[in-house]
Amino acid sequence: NAGVTQTPKFRILKIGQSMTLQCTQDMNHNYMYWYRQDPGMGLKLIYYSVGAGITDKGEVPNGYNVSRSTTEDFPLRLELAAPSQTSVYFCASIQQATHLNTGELFFGEGSRLTVL
């Protein structure tokens, strides 16, 4: 059972370059999230999706774009990378919270991005 898979795990970008962080989950979860974690800090929500075709902004969406064409995949696109986007990015998903489950986030292993 793979859970939430993120690729790549590490990436170095030059200022102005673009890239896509891939996230896929095999648990048939409707809800998916992208967070960033700056050094020594907590997680900040970038974008989230409540189902295929539906996305919405979180706390820090500037400089990012997402799409959700399938239930499984939720890629995060960085356009015109800037040093401020140096961070660890986490993708997460949940089953809808009901009285039968806690609705805890299932996290990928993270993607460490450095922009130089």
Partner 1 sequence: AQKITQTQPGMFVQEKEAVTLDCTYDTSDPSYGLFWYKQPSSGEMIFLIYQGSYDQQNATEGRYSLNFQKARKSANLVISASQLGDSAMYFCAMREDPSGTYKYIFGTGTRLKVLA
Q: Which amino acid is at 99?
A: H
Binding of residue 56 to partner 1 (CB under 8 A): yes
- The residue (of 11 and 31) whose beta carbon lies closer to partner 1 is 31
74-104 as b/e, with b when 16 or more CB fall inside 10 Å? bbbebeebeeebbbbbbbbbbbeeeeeeeee
From the list 88, 100, 114, 116, which residue makes contact with partner 1 (rule: CB under 8 A)?
88
Q: Which stretch binds partner 1 (CB under 8 A): 15-23, 60-68, 72-80, 102-110?
A: 102-110
Binding residues for partner 1 restricted to 9-38, rule: CB under 8 A: 31, 33, 35
- For CA atoms 44, 22, 74, 92, give the dihedral sign: negative
Minimum CB separation of residue 13 from partner 1 in Å reads 19
From the list 61, 63, 75, 110, which residue makes contact with partner 1 (rule: CB under 8 A)?
110
Q: How far is Cα 72 from Cα 88, in angstroms, rounded to an integer?
A: 21
Burial class (CB in 10 A: 0-12, 13-18, 19+), 113: buried
Binding of residue 90 to partner 1 (CB under 8 A): yes
Q: Which residues contribute to the site for partner 1 (CB under 8 A)?
A: 31, 33, 35, 40-45, 48, 50, 56, 58, 88, 90, 92, 94, 96-97, 102-105, 107, 109-110
